[in-house]
Structure 1
Amino acid sequence: MSSDQVRAPGPQPAGSRVEVLTPREVPLGGPRAMTVRRTLPQRARTLIGAWCFADHYGPDDVARTGGMDVPPHPHTGLQTVSWLFTGEIEHRDSLGVHAMVRPGELNLMTGGHGISHSEVSTPGTRILHGVQLWALIPIRPCRR
């Protein structure tokens, strides 16, 4: 099993003990954007527990790839967990949060009833490497 593959718990095919999920390459933010290796979702498995997306990016030479430049986009009903191994990312969101995410740090963003955010690698970043996981959160209607 390669380092990009994930062992998924849950029901297994007959005669198998472990389900191995192999990621596919996906452009993040459009056709000329950086590429991530996306393990979730897949046709055969859209979730592992509450986790609905699992992306791994890098290590990328930012001078060659252009780094991360994801413009503002919305999220509703989920949390994103960004974990950076190498490089630095600037996060801005519609709630006024401005954060610099550095190696070894986690950035947790909750988009309950809606949030918009952007993520951009900083000019000083030479190598960018990290993961982003998304977890579904239950949204309850407002009670008055």
Structure 2
Amino acid sequence: MKTSLFIATLLLPLSPLAGSGIATVPDRFIGQWAGSPDSCGSNADDMILRIAPGHIAYWESEGPIKAVVIHGEIEIALIAELSGEGETWLSTANFTLSQDGRQLIDNTSVPGKELVRYKCSRTAGNDPSIGWAIAGGSEAEQFIQARPSWLGCKRGCM
């Protein structure tokens, strides 16, 4: 808790977007990320992470991204309002991309450790129950279309 509060305190003065309600994740971070390349497209990976332009989903929690701070080309910090198991809370996350963009290093989920996730290809995640599609549109559009309820949409949102 202290780490999350500390990171949130650091993020607020850095981002001119933090208070404006605009929170868009850069395209290079958007997609489905898994704990190993072999677990892409599987519902069994508890390290699964889905990032959309304004939404993030972990294994058992998800919610809108409230603030994004971009540091260079390969690092972002987020504040998200997550919900899961009947509760809602603010959460911070710091992600760094590998130089080739195929690995996402999570510096905040486990204090003192770096969790490495691997970018799933569009063809690996064709199971609609995990919110990923493969036909047409950008990866971000496919991701959002598969989960319109995340955006408060009932029908025809995209």
Scaled by the length of structure 1, what TM-score is found?
Answer: 0.26
- State which structure, 1 or 2, has the greater radius of gyration over its C-alpha atoms: 1
Q: Which has the higher strand share?
A: 1
Higher relative contact order (CA 8 A, sep 6+): 1
Scaled by the length of structure 2, what TM-score is found?
Answer: 0.24
Q: Which has the higher helix share?
A: 2
